[in-house]
Structure formats: C-alpha cells, structure tokens
Structure 1
Amino acid sequence: MSPVSLLLLCSLLPCSLCHSQDPFSWLYGRSGQALAALQADRTGGDCPEECDCPPSYPVAMYCDGRGLTSMPSIPERIKYLYLQNNQISAVPDAAMVNASNLVWLMMHHNQIRSDAIGKKAFLKLAKLDRLYLQHNNLTSVPSNLPRSLRDLRLHHNSIDKITAADFEGMDNLTVLYLHDNSISEISSSLKSLGSLTLLDISGNKLKKIPESLPAHLHQLYLESNSIDSVPEGFLGGFSQLQYIRMAHNQLTDKGIPPNTFNVSGLVELDLSFNRLERIPIVSTTLQHLYLQANSIKEFTLGSFCSIVDISNFSRLRTLRLDGNEIGRQDIPSESSQCLRQAFEIDI
C-alpha cells in the first residue's frame, strides 16, 4: 500500500488505530470478531466476553453456538437473550437474578436437566414473553415459570407428566409445544389456559384425547400417539377450532361416534395412517381432508354431501385417499357435483 493510500486510510480511522505498527490489526482478534468488538458499546463493560452485544441493538445479547457449559452473566438492560446451541446443563437460582427485563429467552439445543434448574431461576422474569427450552434433557416442566409467557416450547425433551400446577396462572399463554416427549397422561391440567390457541402434543404416549382442553384452541395436533377413539361430542366444546391432526394413531370406525367431525368451522382434518374402513361424515365447510394409509373400502359420497344442489355442496379442496383399498373406478360419477371445488383428489 502506498504512503498516500495509508494516509487516506488513517484519516478515516480512529487516531489510536493509526499509531499501531500494523494498520490492519483492528481487523483481527478474538474469534475473528474484532470488528464487532471495536464497534460494540459494552455499556460500561457489562457484556460478557463470550457473547456479543451489538451497539445497533443494545438490548440483545448473542451467546448462541459459543460452546458454553454454564450460564453467562446477564446485564439488566438485556431484553433478548440467545443461548441456543451450547452445552449448558444447569440454570442456578442466581443465573438470571439481574435479568428482570428479559422478553425473549432462547435456550433450545442445550443439555439442561430438570434437576439442575433452580426453583427460583425464573422468578425475576416478570416480563418474559417467549421461552424456548426444546431439545434439552428435561424430564418435567420447570417450576415457577413466568406467568407472563405467551409462547412456551418444551418439545423434544423427556417430559413424562403434566400437572395443573405446571401452567397455573398462565392466562396469556397462546402457544404451547409439548410434542416429542414421553407424556402418557394430561387429564384436565391444561383446562385453565384460556388464551391458548395452538397446542401440539403429538409424538407422545397418549392413549386417549386429554379431557377438558382449552375452549379457544385454533390448532390441535395429536399425531403419533396411541389414541384409538374420540369421545362423544369431542368438538362441541370448541368455538374456534379449525385444524385437527390425528395422523399415526390407532383410530377405528368404532372409536369415532357419528357426526363427530360434522361441525362447521373446521378447515383441515388429518386422519391419515389410522385403521379406518369408512370415510367419516364431515362438514360441507371442511376444505382439506387427509385419509391416506387407512383401510377404507368404499367411496361414500354421503360422507361429504347429504344434499346436492346449487347452494348445497362440499367446499372440500383437498382429498387424499391414496394407500387405501379403493381406486378411481370407485368414485361415483355424481361426485363432480358434490365435490365441485376439489382441485386435488388422490386415490
């Protein structure tokens, strides 16, 4: 580099940098991130060395994928904390004593154990909105979780039991992921979650549909359990339910009372990979029906339309019947009137 170019570069850099023996030394440093370190305003040096606190976003602290085995110190100003993809195994009581302003806490893909979470670890987090603890080593729901939570993710752990006390007072909880655990019983422990709209409890060990689920659910996912029946009036207690997925269970015709799924408002119903021999009666307002990989032997048009005229027809758009014991030759010719909006029928 010519002296003129070097002089021009120095005119654009802080004076302290231009007196260095190597004018480019400011580009190098810890983990190749000296540029961020140069720019970062540590606000009094309170950002841990193993994390990054960008000046453009002073309320966020990035500690993800750093190989951490323990919790770092958390400045009071931090609202968004990213700790995912580490090897953290414990959350002591004092770990977040200063983190009273946290809104998001991302701790997924670690090695956190239930017996290594302090009973007071989350007590100071009165503003916490999102807590991600999926892909850890939890065997139970952590105690004393913040009642302010709206989005709680606990999937891909080894949780085997859910109690009413686990979610007591969580009036704001909207999203709850519990899938891919070892839960065999839920009973009515989720009934009090009045704001819950999405519940995913697929991939567990449930043998029956939980009792008294929250009335305002919008999406309910129950796939990959061992459920063989649906209780009478199952959908009567829901006012906003639109999506039900019960694929990969043990459902039979005997286990589904007549007209169980003949309710308006339902948009998508997935009953694939079960043991059904007949197409259940569904509402004419249903738009997507998945019945593949059952043992269905007959295409019953009455399951979709009891009356067919100008104003009475099925709104079904997607119908999957592949992997059953019927073929296209079994579809009645008059089905084009009933299923006039279907753009995809797989047999």
Structure 2
Amino acid sequence: MLPLRLPLLFLLVSVALCQYDDYDYQPASRHGPSGPNCHQECDCPFNFPTAMYCDSRKLKFVPVVPTGIKYLYLQNNLIEEIKAGVFDNVTDTLRWLILDNNQITNAKIEKGTIDKLSALEKLFFSNNNLTEPVIPPSKSLDELKIMHNQLSKFPSGLLSDKENLTSVNVQNNQLTSDAIGGAFKGPKKMLSLDVSHNKLKKLPAGVPGSLEILYADYNEIDIVGAGYLGKLPLLQSLRISHNKLVDSGIPAGVFNVTSLVELDLSFNQLKSIPEINENLEQLYLQANKIEKFELTSLCKYVSTTSFSHLKHLRLDGNMVTHSSMPPESSNCLRVASDVIFE
C-alpha cells in the first residue's frame, strides 16, 4: 500500500499549497549580469541562460523573447496585452510561461502568440481577466493553472490532444456545470483537477479515469451521481466541502469505493454519516446537521481483519457528541488517532 500512498502525499501537498492562496512563483536567485541576448527589461542569468526573468517590473507588455529562452517569468506586472510576434523566436522551444498577476483579457491576446507555442509544458495564467481558457497547441503541456480569473466557459475539445496533461486548476472562476461539460474528457494522464470556488451544481462530467485528486469545494453541488466514483477507479482524494449536499443527494454506497483515502464533505447539510469503505483514512464531516452516530456507515463488519482504517474523523459542528458513540466503536475505529466532536 505504501507505494500508492507516497505519490498521493506529494500531490496533496503540491495542490494544497496553492488551493486557497495566490500562486507566487519565486524565481531562482539572480547573480551577476544578464547574458547578451536578453531583453533590456529583463534578466537572463549566466548561470541559467535559458531563463528570462521579467517579473515584478511594472511591465505593460510582453517583451520579444530571444532565441534560446525556455523559461519565461512575467508574473506580477501590469501586462494588459500580448502582441503578435513576441514568441516567434521560441515557438518550438519555450517550455514554461508564467503570466500570473497581470491584467490580460482574451481580446488583447493576438493571434500568433500563445497559439504558436508547440513545446509548452507549463502555462500559469492566474489572477488575470480571462473569460475563457487560452490553450497552446503543445502536446507536451503537463500543468495548466488559470485560477482567479473570470472564466465562464471551457469549451469541450480544448484539451483533447493533451496526452501529457497531469494537472488542471481553474478554481475561483465563474464556471457552471454546463460550461465545463466535456471539457476534461481528453487527457488520459490527468491526476489532479481543481474546480473549487465556481458555480457548479454537480461534479464535473467526463473526467478521465486516471484522476487521483478532485477538489470541488465552494460550489453549489447538491447531488453526487450514483455511478460517479465507479468511473474513477484511482481517485484517492475527493473534496466537496462548502456545497449544498443533503442526504437525498448521496446515493447509497456512492462513497464506498476502495481507492478513496480522503473524503471531505464538511460544511454541507447532511443529517447522517454516509457509507464509506474501510480503506478510507480521512473523513471530514464537520459543520453539517448529523443527528446520529451510525457505526454501520463506517464498519459493516468488525473482526480481526475487517475494521475501519480511519485515522481522522471530524464531526464537530453537528448534533452528535462523544457520548453518541456506541460501545463497539473502539473496535471499529481501532486505528483512529482522533475523532473530533467539538
């Protein structure tokens, strides 16, 4: 079990670090003068000649990128537009493009810019004014972050050829369930999807079966489809906190899947503990309306080999207390390090 858990741990830490905070990309230290091929507004360190640092310089434009640059840092500026031709020297070599914290709109991204980048691996476009995604043609794209924009649509097919895409983060936008219908069908290697802080009424449809992490906190979700998790056999972490889930919106056994390690249903309107699988390790149910501690939801059978593997269970902010636990709870929850009621 350990080889499976370690990759998840690294993914969880990576995703959690930027789930609710702005992504602040910290460039490497810049020592010595820039290389001779660098744009005058930027730095291209001799010890890292393939990187051009143009971050935090109050730029209002994207400078022309010279030949040889693979990593371009443009975050924390005042950029409003991207003019045609600025990437002509690096269309097939630029790997990272960091545009976080600017003022870019879709209308000011000219043709012949991002749509020409055929080798891009990472595109970070958070904290701008985009209303729809800007996707490069690169099949090498593995990480896409368009957080804190004004995305109201994500047309299907944009990611259909992104065979190496592993992580997509579009939290804090204006996306609805209809707006993302089929948006994530293409990538076969996607591990992490974050659609938190949007306007979804249900979990995103058509997500690839390779998914291990799905965050959908702070939406308007009131139902989970009966066979939804059955299509995600590798899913290990599911967060649906701060939504509108009620008991009738959770079909019997929908969360009873062997792959799940973490399940967050906090800050909803549940009145009972949903049925889970004994493999689950983290269950967050705080701030619901749970009235009864139903041990059968956690343990169908209890024996020397059959028991819940829950390590952390939160029930604070509900109508149950520690005295609500039946005597046999200790045998069912024998590995739990904490069960929190208040």
Name which of 73, 79, 87 aligns with 2:70.
79
Deviation at 1:86, TM superposition (A): 0.2
Residue from 218, 235, 244 that aligns with 2:238: 244
Indicate the residue corresponding to 2:140 in structure 1.
148
C-alpha distance in structure 2 between counterparts of 1:96 and 1:309, whole Å: 64
Q: Distance in 2 between matches of 1:55 and 1:339?
A: 58
After alignment, is 134-143 or 155-164 more displaced? 134-143
For the residues of structure 2 that align with 1:87 and 1:330, how far apart are their CA atoms? 56
CA contact (8 A) 1:108 1:134 kept: yes
Alpha-carbon distance between aligned partners in 1 of 2:334 and 2:261, rounded to the nearest angstrom:
17
Q: Distance in 1 between matches of 2:127 and 2:137?
A: 18
Question: Is the CA contact 2:219–2:243 (under 8 Å) kept in the aligned structure 1?
Answer: yes
Matched-pair contact (CA < 8 Å) for 1:161–1:186: yes
- Using the TM superposition, give the Cα deviation of residue 41 of structure 1 relative to its aligned residue in structure 2, in angstroms: 5.2
Q: How does 1:1-12 map to 2 (within 5 A)?
A: none
Q: CA deviation at 1:146?
A: 2.7
Equivalence for 1:328:
322
TM-score by length of 2: 0.88
- Whether the 8 Å CA contact 1:99–1:124 is kept in 2: the answer is no
Q: Is the 8 A contact 1:122 1:146 kept in 2?
A: no
The equivalences for 1:118-133 within 5 A come to: 118-133=110-125
Q: 1:41 to 1:210 in 2, by over 3 A?
A: closer
Displacement of 1:168: 2.9
Query: Residue 14 of structure 2 aligns with which residue?
Result: none
Is the Cα contact below 8 Å between 1:63 and 1:83 reproduced in 2? yes
Match of 1:66 in 2: 57
Structure 1, residues 134-164: CA drift from partner, whole Å, max 9, x if none?
A: 0101011125443321001001100001111
Residue identity matched to 1:140: E
Separation of aligned partners in 2, 1:37 and 1:231: 51
Q: In structure 2, what is the equivalent of residue 231 of structure 1? A: 225
| Aligned equivalent of 1:7 | none
Pair 108,41 (structure 1): closer, same or farther in 2 beyond 3 Å: closer
SS at match of 2:144: strand
> Secondary structure in 2 aligned to 1:329?
helix
Contact 2:236–2:260 (CA<8 Å) still a contact in 1?
Answer: yes
Q: Is the 8 Å Cα contact of residues 119 and 144 (structure 1) preserved in structure 2?
A: no
Q: SS where residue 81 of structure 1 aligns?
A: strand
Q: CA deviation at 1:91?
A: 1.1
Find the residue that maps to 1:61 and give its secondary structure.
strand
For residues 52-201 of structure 1, the aligned pairs below 5 Å read 52-100=43-91, 101-142=93-134, 144-184=136-176, 185-201=179-195
* Cα separation, 1, equivalents of 2:301 and 2:313: 19
Q: How many residues align?
A: 310
* Secondary structure, aligned partner of 2:288: coil
Q: Counterpart amino acid of 2:332?
A: C
Higher-Rg member (1/2): 1
Distance 2:263 2:30 in 1: 52
Match of 1:51 among 42, 51, 66: 42
Aligned: 1:221 with 2:212: no
The 2-side partners of 1:37 and 1:107 are apart by: 19
Q: Write out per-residue CA displacement over residues 224-283 of structure 1, whole angstroms, 9 at most, x where no aligned residue.
A: 110100111111111210000000000010010000001101000000000100000000
Q: Is the 8 A contact 1:119 1:143 kept in 2?
A: no
Match of 1:40 in 2: 33
Instruction: List per-residue Cα deviations over 1:13-52 (Å, max 9, x = no partner).
Output: xxxxxxxxxxxxxxxxxxxxxxx99943523xx2112111
Contact 2:201 2:221 survives alignment (8 Å)? yes
Q: Is the 8 A contact 1:120 1:144 kept in 2?
A: no
CA contact (8 A) 2:64 2:85 kept: no
**Which residue does 2:26 correspond to in 1?**
none
Moved over 4 A (4+): none
Q: Does the aligned pair in 2 maintain the 1:139–1:158 contact within 8 Å? A: yes
Residue of 246, 266, 286 corresponding to 1:272 = 266
Q: Would the aligned equivalents of 2:118 and 2:136 in 1 still touch at CA under 8 Å? A: no
Unaligned runs of 5+ in 1: 1-35
State the Cα distance separating 1:339 from its structure 2 match.
0.1
Give the TM-score of the pair, scaled to structure 1.
0.86
The 5 A counterparts of 1:286-297 are: 286-297=280-291
